[in-house]
């Protein structure tokens, strides 16, 4: 701490200069933790496609990175292979810090066809979603995923 006046000996009566924060090192998102303690939650806004945007969304994404770095082991390579209780702990920590709302749910995106494919009729879209969410398709999908994991080289390589 630096004092503004070197003649003052009593730190309680002195004013402090702003000390510049060091920018090197690990980000722990201390401002988010302070807000959690004060029970202040910023609201995360979503655009039409369901993606978060705005300052709260950017900060939330950084906070998710901090949570992943601190709670997930380095040897864990794949998010899908993590235990469900660990994922739930991370989700609860996010919900304690932010008002996430309904915009972040993936199933909401399947209700209507994407804007890019506005020529698809609602009945066709509902049939497509029903076929993709069926147990038969899930079995085929998991079988093909296992086959894909066995491939040594990515087929997109030139």
pTM of this structure: 0.56
Question: Do 54 and 117 belong to one domain?
Answer: no
Question: Do 61 and 91 belong to one domain?
Answer: yes
Pair of tokens at residue 110: 């399947």
Counting the structural domains of the chain, the total is 2
User: Residues 140, 107, 95, CA angle at the centre, nearest 5°?
Assistant: 125
Question: Do 135 and 95 belong to one domain?
Answer: no
Question: Do 100 and 119 belong to one domain?
Answer: no
Question: Do 122 and 99 belong to one domain?
Answer: no
Question: Do 120 and 96 belong to one domain?
Answer: no
- Residue 1 counted as domain residue: no
Residue 97 has pLDDT above 50, yes or no: yes
- Residue 158 counted as domain residue: no
Question: Do 84 and 141 belong to one domain?
Answer: no
Q: How far apart are the first and last CA of the chain?
A: 58
- Residue 142 counted as domain residue: yes
Paired with 45 in beta bridges are: 53
- Tens of pLDDT, residue by residue over 19-73, are 566 667 677 788 888 888 888 889 988 887 778 889 999 999 999 989 988 888 8
- Residue 40 counted as domain residue: yes
The pLDDT of residue 81: 84
Question: Do 96 and 126 belong to one domain?
Answer: no
What is the distance between the alpha carbons of residues 25 and 103, in angstroms, rounded to a whole number? 33
What is the distance between the alpha carbons of residues 6 and 62, in angstroms, rounded to a whole number? 40
Residues 125-133 have a mean pLDDT of 89
Its domain, for residue 147, covers 112-152
């Amino acid at each position: 701490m630096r004092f503004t006046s070197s003649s003052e000996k009593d730190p309680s009566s002195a004013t402090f200069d702003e000390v510049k924060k060091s920018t090197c090192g690990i980000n722990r998102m201390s401002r988010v933790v302070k807000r959690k303690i004060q029970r202040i939650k910023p609201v995360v806004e979503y655009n039409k496609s369901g993606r978060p945007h705005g300052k709260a969304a950017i900060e939330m994404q950084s906070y998710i990175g901090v949570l992943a770095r601190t709670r997930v082991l380095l040897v864990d390579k794949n998010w899908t292979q993590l235990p469900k209780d660990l994922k739930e702990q991370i989700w609860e920590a996010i919900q304690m810090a932010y008002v996430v709302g309904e915009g972040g749910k993936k199933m909401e995106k399947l209700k209507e066809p994407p804007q890019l494919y506005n020529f698809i009729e609602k009945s066709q879209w509902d049939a497509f979603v029903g076929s993709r969410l069926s147990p038969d398709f899930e079995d085929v999908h998991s079988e093909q995923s296992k086959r894909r994991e066995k491939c040594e080289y990515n087929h997109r390589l030139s």
